[in-house]
């Protein structure tokens, strides 16, 4: 959760009076609130944390970070299925105890 | 040099390491504040690539780890009530309360949902007006503006079936508490980059000055961390104690002004208990009185819970950098990521989990440390 992931703004719209964006995180697209970075434009990159864009980022550093996160599995942790992970961990527990 | 090929730019990593080795003349210890940095350090073996004289101490920067047991128990209690939809970030699911976790509450029939953003929880509230929707707001200054916005929007849109269980923590008072501790060995800090993306760096010069401690704002990619260490070592060797920004691509000194203004509207600072550490004055945020209606603790009246902390767990000492995870007797035996006794083993940002996942027992330097004690 503490991770902030860079993504590319692919679309902007207003919802309930708040600027929102569709942001592409290396293939995963999410709704992101732009209230804290209202001046960002389509095509630009931003650091996004728990659904909020918090700072602009240049393309080169954004792409480098995304590649790194993908390699170390951080993207899966951020956007993957938390229930499946928790179930997986709980299921394997007895096995671990017997080791 | 087993790990260095894994760096994004191994040649640059090599140069930074050479520079550090060429600068250091005596032992120094520095603390990386953020759990994301701890993971990066252990995963890429940064601590082992550094000259022997430099010791990295792992800090308390994992919100999942420091959320007090009492708050976890309150979350479990609220999540178990009928008519409640309890929304949380995925990392909180397996944090042990006194007798169970959120994952178990859902197994027992509670409506617990994982959301990506607090605004998703607000949306659920708008769509299910006959249910009470509660969002579990934990996190440092990076996360707090998102939670603040959810409260702000709920009030603005007059969504009445939405509330927040808030347990936010702030970094500067934690640094202050660590420096004031009589056992403190920290001589420099690598401050958390994304916390500063929001807050800026203006809170830090007073700390650096009072405690004569260099504070270098650092990102959490391996090269960012090496650069942060390089700058901290330079300052230490020269006897300086300044605030330096080694993460300018994401951090401006004044932070994110819009986020700060919403934070100030919705939250006010308060004393906060940190799990395993104790209460640190002024180290948390709570909702202001204007937002009292949105405070889940108030709405659900969860008081008088008795908590039960496992006695073997030494995560408080781990979080303060006083011991390393493998020095805890339960590490890797009674306590593993699948059977965690403490939050530092549950959270993907916890130091115990990092040591366990990256097998930090079999490495030469750790063995050396182990044999000393
Ligand atoms: S290894 Fe487990 S029991 Fe020991 S300090 Fe870490 S979380 Fe606590």
Residue B125 lies in a domain: yes
Pick from B8, B262, B338: CB nearest A93:
B338
Tell me the helices (H) and strands (E) count for chain B, helix number first: 18, 11
Same domain, B273 and B212: no
> What is the rounded (10 degree) CA torsion for B200, B203, B204, B207?
-170
Atom of ligand 1 nearest to the CA of B344: 7
Smallest Cα–Cα separation from B353: which of B368, B340, B367?
B340
Task: Please check whether residues B138 and B233 belong to one and the same domain.
Answer: no
Residue A97 forms part of a structural domain = no
**Of B95, B105, B97, the residue nearest B73 (C-alpha):** B97
CATH at A72: 2.30.30.140
Establish if B76 belongs to a structural domain.
yes
CATH number of the domain bearing residue B278: 3.40.50.11740
* Extended strands (E) in chain A: 5-15, 18-25, 28-33, 45-49, 52-57
Residue B183, domain CATH: 3.40.50.11750
pTM of the model: 0.89
Residue from B253, B192, B256 nearest B219 by CA: B192
Query: Which ipTM was obtained for this model?
Result: 0.87
C-alpha–C-alpha distance, residues B225 and B161, integer Å: 43
**A92/B119 touch (CB, cutoff 8 Å), yes or no:** no
Cα–Cα distance measured from residue B96 to residue B339, given in angstroms and rounded to the nearest whole number: 10
On whether both B103 and B241 belong to a single domain, the answer is no
pLDDT for the residue A95: 46
Q: Does residue A99 lie within any of the structural domains?
A: no
* SS3 state at A26: coil
The residue of chain A with its CA nearest to that of B9 is A64
Q: How many CB atoms lie within 10 A of CB B205?
A: 14
Q: Looking at the domain assignment, is residue A98 inside a domain?
A: no
The one-character DSSP state at B127 is H
Asked if A42 has any chain B CB less than 8 Å from its own CB, the reply is no
State whether residue B357 is helix, strand or coil: helix
Which ligand 1 atom sits nearest the alpha carbon of residue B332?
A: 1
CB-based contact (8 Å) between B141 and chain A?
A: no
How many Å apart are CA B200 and CA A82, to the nearest integer? 31
Q: Rounded to whole angstroms, how far apart are CA atoms B225 and B247?
A: 10
Does B183 lie in the same domain as B158?
no
Specify whether B96 is located in the same domain as B229: no
C-alpha B94/C-alpha B119 separation (Å) is: 22
* Composition of chain A by helix, strand, coil, percent to 5: 35, 35, 30
A37 SS3 class: coil
Q: What is the mean pLDDT of each run of 10 residues along chain B (373 residues)?
A: 72 94 97 90 91 93 88 96 96 88 94 96 97 96 96 96 96 93 92 94 97 95 94 98 95 96 96 88 96 95 79 86 90 89 83 84 43 31
Task: Domain count for chain A, please give it.
Answer: 1
Q: Is residue A28 less than 8 Å (CB to CB) from chain B?
A: no
Residues B284, B56: Cα–Cα separation, whole Å? 26
What pLDDT was estimated at residue B367? 39
* B205 shares a domain with B112: no
- Residue B159 domain-assigned (yes or no): yes
Answer yes or no: do A1 and B120 touch at CB < 8 A: no
Classify residue A60: in a domain, yes or no: yes
pLDDT value, residue A2: 64
Distance CA B285, CA B170 (A): 8
For residue A39, give both structure tokens. Answer: 């001046």
What is the C-alpha to C-alpha distance for residues B201 and B254, in angstroms, rounded to an integer? Answer: 7
User: Torsion-angle region of residue A50: left (phi > 0), alpha (psi -120 to 50) or beta?
Assistant: left
C-alpha dihedral sign at B328, B330, B332, B338: negative
Q: Which domain holds residue B235?
A: 10-63+173-245
Query: What is the phi/psi pair of residue B168, to 5°?
Result: -85, 150
Give residue-wise pLDDT tens across range A26-79: 888 999 999 999 999 999 999 999 999 999 999 988 888 888 777 777 777 777
Instruction: List phi, psi (to 5°) of B285.
Output: -120, 145
Q: Which positions in chain A touch B256 (Cβ < 8 Å)?
A: 36-37, 54-55
Distant-in-sequence contacts of B201-205, Cβ < 8 A, 24+ apart? B201/B243, B201/B245, B201/B251, B201/B253, B201/B255, B202/B253, B202/B254, B202/B255, B203/B172, B204/B172, B204/B243, B205/B242, B205/B243
- Can you read off the two tokens belonging to residue B43? 């995963």
């Amino acid at each position: 959760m503490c991770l902030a992931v860079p993504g590319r703004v692919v679309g902007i719209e207003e919802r309930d009076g708040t600027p929102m964006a569709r942001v592409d995180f290396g293939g995963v697209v999410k709704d992101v609130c732009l209230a804290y970075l209202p001046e960002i434009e389509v095509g630009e990159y931003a650091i996004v944390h728990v659904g909020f864009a918090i700072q602009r980022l240049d393309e080169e550093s954004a792409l480098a970070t995304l590649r790194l996160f993908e390699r170390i599995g951080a993207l899966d942790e951020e956007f993957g299925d938390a229930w499946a992970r928790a179930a997986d961990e709980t299921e394997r527990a007895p096995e671990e105890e017997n080791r | 040099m087993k790990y260095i090929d894994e760096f994004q730019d191994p040649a640059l990593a090599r140069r930074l390491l050479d520079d550090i080795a060429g600068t250091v003349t005596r032992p120094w210890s520095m603390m990386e504040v953020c759990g994301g940095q701890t993971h990066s350090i252990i995963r890429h073996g940064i601590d082992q690539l550094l000259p022997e004289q430099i010791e990295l101490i792992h800090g308390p920067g994992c919100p999942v780890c420091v959320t007090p047991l009492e708050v976890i128990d309150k979350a479990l209690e609220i999540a178990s009530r009928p008519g409640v939809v309890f929304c949380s970030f995925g990392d909180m699911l397996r944090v042990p309360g006194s007798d169970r976790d959120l994952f178990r509450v859902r197994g027992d029939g509670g409506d617990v949902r994982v959301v990506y953003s607090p605004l998703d929880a607000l949306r659920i509230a708008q769509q299910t007006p006959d249910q009470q929707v509660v969002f579990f707001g934990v996190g440092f200054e990076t996360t707090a503006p998102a939670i603040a916005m959810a409260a702000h929007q709920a009030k603005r849109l007059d969504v009445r079936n939405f509330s927040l269980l808030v347990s936010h923590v702030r970094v500067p008072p934690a640094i202050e508490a660590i420096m004031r501790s009589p056992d403190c060995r920290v001589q420099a800090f690598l401050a958390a980059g994304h916390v500063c993306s929001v807050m800026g760096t203006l809170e830090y010069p007073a700390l650096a000055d009072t405690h004569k401690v260099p504070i270098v704002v650092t990102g959490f990619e391996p090269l960012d961390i090496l650069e942060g260490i390089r700058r901290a070592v330079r300052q230490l060797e020269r006897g300086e104690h300044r605030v330096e920004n080694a993460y300018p691509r994401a951090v401006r000194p004044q932070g994110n002004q819009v986020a700060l203004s919403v934070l100030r509207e919705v939250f006010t600072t308060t004393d906060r208990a940190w799990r395993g550490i104790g209460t640190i004055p002024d180290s948390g945020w709570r909702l202001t009185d204007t937002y009292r209606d949105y405070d889940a603790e108030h709405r659900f009246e969860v008081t008088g819970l008795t908590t039960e902390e496992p006695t073997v767990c030494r995560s408080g000492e781990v979080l303060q950098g006083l011991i390393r995870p493998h020095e805890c007797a339960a590490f890797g035996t009674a306590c593993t990521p699948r059977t965690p006794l403490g939050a530092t083993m549950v959270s993907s940002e916890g130091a115990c989990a990092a040591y366990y996942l990256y097998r930090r027992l079999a490495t030469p330097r750790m063995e050396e440390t182990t044999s000393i004690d």
